[in-house]
Amino acid sequence: MQDLFNSLGISDNLLNYVLMPLLIFVARIGDVSINTLRIMFMMNGKKNIVPILGFFEAMIWLLAIGQIFQNVNNPLSYIAYAGGFATGTYVGMTLDEKLALGRVLVRVITPQPLPELLEFMKEKNYRFTNVGGEGRFGKVNLLFTVMKREVLKEFIEKVKEVDEKAFYTIESVKRVSEEELNVMEDRVGFRSRFFSRART
């Protein structure tokens, strides 16, 4: 690669102290960002795209580490490598938030039931389970729901609107038994149609 740059009239100083560190920096951003996305897709069970991302991640990493070995006496290469890793981590997390892939499990715990929140969830067609429980200071209400990450922000805003002191936790969900949920919906739909016909 050095011969290629020299043939273009680029001096060794410019190559070693500017271009090479910059290439290493960009390569590290690329492979770390891809690594973050690969883990995200793997957690969501996307088997088809994970190997492709892994291939490009490994290829870019090898190119970056190869340039490090060729410029082992250049301290800027190490700074670029570490800086690219840090920046790539930030970029990967930002992409993860923007894509908002997959589903999350949300638990909401309040001192009393929140009928307004339940009505909101019914209007949005969210699946949920609402049960009573026992807390340190007495009775509490527990609400469980699994939803797409893309609608999580809207839901949390509604929770805070209804009860700003509500306690909630959020966890990533690897897989959801959609088929079972669809069967349950079909059964509910069948029962409602059956009873409506029976009344007529």
Could you tell me the residue ranges of all domains in the chain?
1-99, 103-173
CB burial class (10 A; 0-12, 13-18, 19+) of residue 29? buried
Length of the chain in terms of residues written: 200
Lookup result for tokens 């006496």: 73
- Mean local confidence (pLDDT), 9-35: 79
Phi/psi-derived region of residue 82, left when phi > 0, alpha when psi is between -120 and 50, beta in every other case? alpha
Closest CA to 194 of 14, 186, 179: 186
Structure tokens at 78: 């190490």
Sign of CA dihedral 22, 90, 172, 115: negative
pLDDT digits (tens, 9 = 90+) for 42-71: 877 777 888 999 999 998 888 888 877 777
Which runs of E-coded beta strand occur in the chain?
103-110, 128-135, 138-148, 167-173
CA dist., res. 159 & res. 108, Å (int): 8
pLDDT digits (tens, 9 = 90+) for 138-163: 888 999 998 888 888 899 999 999 98
Give yes or no for a contact between 63 and 43, defined as CB atoms under 8 angstroms apart. no
Helix-helix angle 115-123:152-162, to 10 degrees: 150
Residues 6+ apart with CB under 8 A from 58: 31
64-73, 176-185, 189-198: least confidently modelled range = 189-198
Amino acid at 99: L
- Mean local confidence (pLDDT), 64-80: 80
CB burial class (10 A; 0-12, 13-18, 19+) of residue 48? exposed
Closest CA to 18 of 103, 100, 91, 77: 77
CATH fold, domain 103-173, is Alpha-Beta Plaits (3.30.70)
- Mean local confidence (pLDDT), 23-32: 90
